[in-house]
Amino acid sequence: MQLLGHLQNFFSCTSMVVHVEALGSHRIKVHSLLCQELHEVVNKVSKILPEIEAVRPGCSSGIGIEALCVLINELDKAKSVLHHCRVSSKLYLVLTGESILLRCKKSRSILEQCLNQIQNMVHVELASEIIEVLADIKRAKFSLDPSEEEAGKVLLQLLHEYATESDSIQEISSSAIQVASTRLHIRSTLAVSKEKTSIKKMLSKGGDSDSKKRKILLLFLDLLNKYGKQFT
């Protein structure tokens, strides 16, 4: 019965797998270098995934199946990060840069742990492939672009000023949004329009589940409406 349970977990896990698409970073709005590294990690792991699934590692103990399910789930989470950086607002992406950076590092760590477990439960040839992938994953360097990091700090300081109800908030707002927009190449009427559209899409999908996020997005939209024409 225990073995049957492990196999059921395996099939339920693999049935949810979304086939890996070409996750090229050419459409990444912000954090392109960060996402390129994550994209490479996802691709390398995904290439050996069918072989791992085929051998059903550790079926008798269930440990390998559990590791495989975690591996698959983490790949999906990593792909969600890449998708997030394609469709989200540039202003919001740089504001949350540190959390995205930590998310990328966490994905690498979890994928590493799972592959380390699995490589001890498969045949020698596949174990060698996994070892090569592990070496590639360890070489991945995740870091934020300095100009995007600066834009994030400017926006974070702006939010702090709003929280403290500074008397010079209008002047600070105008300056901050211009600095951030310059760093993020939001310098044309079309670019401003695209950024506003991205914010509106995030607002429509977010609902009221995260009031803090919603307030921030509404603030960015308001600032773009107020000052967008000044720096285009």
Cα(180)–Cα(188) distance, integer angstroms: 14
pLDDT over 90 at 16, yes or no: no
Do residues 92 and 42 make contact, with C-beta atoms less than 8 angstroms apart? no
Predicted confidence (pLDDT) per residue in 115-174, tens digit: 999 998 888 999 999 999 999 999 999 999 999 999 999 999 999 988 887 778 888 899
Over residues 105-118, the mean pLDDT reads: 96
Could you tell me the residue ranges of all domains in the chain? 2-138, 146-231
Calculate the average pLDDT of the chain: 86
Residue type, 103: R
Nearby residues of 51 by Cβ (< 8 Å), 6 or more positions away: 126, 129
Q: What percent of the chain has pLDDT over 70?
A: 83
Cα(41)–Cα(43) distance, integer angstroms: 5
Cα(81)–Cα(90) distance, integer angstroms: 14
- So what's the pLDDT on residue 29? 86
Predicted confidence (pLDDT) per residue in 171-228, tens digit: 889 999 999 999 999 999 999 999 999 999 999 986 556 688 999 999 999 999 999 8
pTM of the predicted structure, to 2 decimals: 0.83
pLDDT over 80 at 17, yes or no: no
- So what's the pLDDT on residue 104? 96
Would you place residue 21 in the very low, low, confident or very high pLDDT band (cuts 50, 70, 90)?
very low
pLDDT over 70 at 65, yes or no: yes
Over residues 30-54, the mean pLDDT reads: 94
Do residues 25 and 36 make contact, with C-beta atoms less than 8 angstroms apart? yes
* Core vs surface per residue 99-125: b (16+ CB within 10 A) or e: ebbebbeebbebbbebbebbbebbeee
Residue 8: left if φ>0, alpha if ψ -120 to 50, beta else—which one?
alpha
In the numeric block, which tokens belong to residue 120?
């001890």
Do residues 55 and 126 make contact, with C-beta atoms less than 8 angstroms apart? yes
In the numeric block, which tokens belong to residue 201?
């899409």
pLDDT over 50 at 20, yes or no: no
Over residues 16-37, the mean pLDDT reads: 67
